[in-house]
Structure 1
Amino acid sequence: MTKARSEPPTWRKSSYSGQTAQECVEVSALDGAIDTRDSKDPSVGHITVAPESWSALLGAIKA
């Protein structure tokens, strides 16, 4: 079960995407969780993971 957010998420995407890129993910870190969504269709929703899981994913991608 996830707890209610204290405020709406502020979404960010990679600076490597450029200003007009539409095919990337957006990330928001808020209240001890990491939210990720598809920038092409943000209305679909997002997934929420623990910061430790996010760090493990990034470590695996960079390896």
Structure 2
Amino acid sequence: MAPVHTGNLRWFKSSYSGGSGSDCVEIAVLGEAAAGSVDGVAVRDSKNPTGPHLTFSRAGFAALIDSMRTDAP
């Protein structure tokens, strides 16, 4: 994927993250989610919101989640 400017993205984290707000990852949808044209997903550490992020294509993020579900204890 091409480099992504994350300044205008809407970041969110899972409701399963707990109340402390630390030790979480946040994700942001790349593209027009409301229009159904999701290009990909950006992922960052909630403790360092101005730090680096990972960018996945839509298929790549789906494969990552599928792998975590499959490999979960």
Identity across matched positions, percent = 34
CA distance in 2, matches of 1:49, 1:3: 11
> TM-score scaled to structure 1, two decimals?
0.82
Root-mean-square deviation over aligned CA pairs: 2.0
Residues of 2 paired with 1:53 and 1:29: CA distance?
Answer: 13
The answer for unaligned runs of 5 or more in structure 1 is none
Q: Across the two proteins, how many residue pairs are aligned to each other?
A: 62
Choose between structure 1 and 2: higher helix proportion.
Answer: 1
Structure 1 residue ranges (4+ consecutive) displaced by more than 6 angstroms after TM superposition: none
What is the TM-score normalised by the length of structure 2?
Answer: 0.72
Aligned to 2:9: 9
